[in-house]
Amino acid sequence: MPVMRLSVTLVTIAFGCLQSVAAAQARSAGATVEDIYIARSVRITRSMPTDFCAESRVGFAGDAFEDSYTFHATESRMSDGKMTNPHGNRIGQMRACFGATPNPLKINFYAEGDLAAVSFIGKGECELKADFPEAGITVGRCFLDLTNLPRGYTGGLLTSNTILSRKAFGEASDPPGYVQASIATVRLWKQR
């Protein structure tokens, strides 16, 4: 009888330990070291560069143009990831400077803004392809290395898939049917 109680006790302890290990693994698997956002940007303004785009601030001659954008949440189908709504709630804003490079299809990119109440400064570039997929449309891929993030973040990256049309502002494109200006993926990495 004492051996049987000892066996039951040992099994109970072992089972309890396994449950604790499983719970810890589940917490570890569920814990994330990054926040990921998918957002659509809409260009609100475009102007000649102001003092905001001074080279001392942006790190390049911000001589091309200055833009302002709003960010909006997007919705996608769970079954296949297809975007079903590119214009959800407003979730942020961004002010950006662009500067020419020797390659006319590459431009410098600097921005300050916030997304989901997370402020950032970003520096990067864009590569463009004109008149694709049709005349009047320019596609681009851009990135920003994100810094000056709130406490708890070690860094971040914004990448965008961008459509520019003959209509520079707002949601509607010319030619029609494109989601402009950008669909951005933002990854923010946390300290462990």
pLDDT in tens, 107-127: 999 999 999 999 999 999 999
- Residue 39 to residue 181: CA distance in whole angstroms: 11
Confidence tier at 101 by pLDDT (50, 70, 90): very high
**Residue keyed to tokens 């003959």:** 166
d(CA 94, CA 71): 8
Reply yes or no on whether the pLDDT at 18 is more than 50: no
User: What confidence category does residue 69 fall into, taking pLDDT thresholds of 50, 70 and 90?
Assistant: very high
What pTM, to 2 d.p., does this model score?
A: 0.81
Single out the residue of 109, 86, 112 nearest to residue 172, CA to CA: 86
Q: Enumerate the domain spans of the chain.
A: 1-31, 33-190
pLDDT for residue 22 is more than 90: no
How far is the C-alpha of 105 from the C-alpha of 139, rounded, in Å?
10
Q: What are the beta bridge partners of residue 118? A: 115
Would you state the structure tokens that stand for residue 151, as one six-digit string?
């406490």
What gap in Å lies between CA 64 and CA 109, rounded to an integer? 10
Cis bond upstream, residue 181 (ω within 30) = yes
